[in-house]
Amino acid sequence: MRKIVKKRAGEKGARSISVIGGADGPTSVFVAGKVKSRKNGDKKEQEQERMLQEIIDRIVPGKRSMEEVCAYLKSELGAEERELEDRRRECMKYNILCRYFPERLPPAPEIEGKHTRARVEKWADECRSRVERIQASAENLDLDMDLRLFELPLVVKGEKIGCFHVEMEMYTGYLSCDWNYDIGDRNVDQRDIREAGERLMAGIIRYRGLASEDIENRTPEFWNYITMEQYLGQR
């Protein structure tokens, strides 16, 4: 993904790139990567667990309500609430269903036997079909939802170059961030843009905090928080 973004950023005429943050993949920080042997794998897992525990030991449990987060976005960051477009609303419902109601999802397809081209293609078709079924389920989800969208400027070195968005669902506690920008002909380093977006996201997630239950059960909120703490610790 980084190579694709970098390539697009360098293409003549490329003027707008969107970057998604706060999705459901933070666990990859601690579990990603291939290992050459079980012994090396054990050492890697032990090191990852040690790093994870160091962050956990620094956490003081205390989780703010979604209403408090909304107030923080408006009063401290100058965010404004926006109307939700249909496409974003559908995506939010899809993500909420995947994150909080996995028991409602159809089983994930698997490749049986040797990974031949035909079997992989069949598996890919089944994956696409599964996503479509989940999207249909999310759209017709019989649940009370209070979806919110907040927008604030994405500022790099004192100059606004895009918008930062915060998606929220008030009942489940779903929170996700994304940002988009248009660099035009300006000489802006992509790393500075990414850092600006991640800094905002980290501040919001840290402000919200974690409950003891999040830490004990290692919820999606826990992994988002852990990822942001790791990011802030590197800065």
Mean pLDDT of 201-209: 92
- Computed over every residue of the chain, the mean pLDDT equals 80
Nearest residue to 181 (alpha-carbon basis) of 159, 203, 204, 201: 159
Predicted model pTM:
0.72
Give the pLDDT score at 214: 92
Q: How far apart are CA 221 and CA 159, in angstroms?
A: 31
Mean pLDDT of 187-208: 90
106 versus 152: the higher-pLDDT residue is: 152
What is the separation of C-alpha 72 from the centre of its chain, rounded to a whole number of angstroms? 20
CA dihedral 47, 48, 50, 54 (to 10 degrees): 140
DSSP notation for 5-37: HHHHHHSTT---EEEEES-S-TTHHHH-S--SS
Q: How far apart are CA 137 and CA 18, in angstroms?
A: 27
Is the pLDDT assigned to residue 24 strictly greater than 50?
no
What is the separation of C-alpha 216 from the centre of its chain, rounded to a whole number of angstroms? 21
**Residues facing 177 on adjacent strands:** 21, 166
SS3 state of residue 185: coil
Is the pLDDT assigned to residue 232 strictly greater than 80?
no
Provide the pLDDT confidence category of residue 157 given band limits of 50, 70 and 90: confident
* Structure confidence by residue, pLDDT tens digits, 62-82: 999 999 999 999 999 999 999
Residue corresponding to tokens 């999310």: 138
Provide the pLDDT confidence category of residue 114 given band limits of 50, 70 and 90: confident
Mean pLDDT of 199-204: 91
Q: Tell me how crowded residue 162 is: count the other CB atoms within 10 A of its CB.
A: 21
